[in-house]
Amino acid sequence: MAWLTGYPREKVDWFPTIDPDKCVKCGMCMNCGNAVFDWTETGPTVARPYKCVVGCMTCANLCLGNCITFPSLEELRTLYKKEGIWAKVKRQLEAEGKLDARLKTEELSPAPDQSGGKDHA
């Protein structure tokens, strides 16, 4: 995944923590696209912390009880700088052609309208 580009995910302390005293059991966290959470009789639990996408905080942003927290973004940014992750990610994205605006513009452009703009209903 381009978020880390070869840096071991297990070395990045980025995953949610749940404060059970604040949890209102709204279930919003169960919408996680990476299935980080499991639901138990007492509410959600962080079952697969390293499946959390580094930098994602959607569950915390949408949590009704405001019970989900993450480590400091500043700590994460410090790690990216120290380990040169930003430069590695950029090189990978360039190699994959994802930063080539010409390529994306051509791929996304619709074919020219041959109808002269008239509706043929």
DSSP-assigned beta bridge partners for residue 69: 17
pLDDT at 107: 60
In whole angstroms, give the CA distance from residue 61 to residue 105.
Answer: 32
* Residue 121 pLDDT: 45
The confidence score (pLDDT) of residue 59 equals: 98
Q: Is the pLDDT reported for residue 87 higher than 50?
A: yes
CATH number assigned to the domain comprising residue 17: 3.30.70.20
pLDDT score for 101: 81
80 torsion bin: left (phi>0), alpha (psi -120 to 50), beta (else): alpha
Provide the mean pLDDT of the chain: 89
Residue 99 lies in a domain: yes
Checking 47-51 for CB contacts under 8 A at 24+ apart, the result is 49/15, 49/16, 50/9, 50/10, 50/15
Q: Are residues 18 and 67 in contact, defined by beta-carbon separation less than 8 angstroms?
A: yes
Per-residue confidence at 91, pLDDT binned at 50, 70, 90? very high
The reply to whether 21 and 58 lie within a common domain is yes
pLDDT above 90 covers what percent of the chain? Answer: 78
- Same structural domain, 37 and 79: no
- What is the span of the domain harbouring residue 79? 72-109
Residue 62 lies in a domain: yes
> Which tens digits make up the pLDDT trace of 3-32?
899 999 999 999 999 999 999 999 999 999
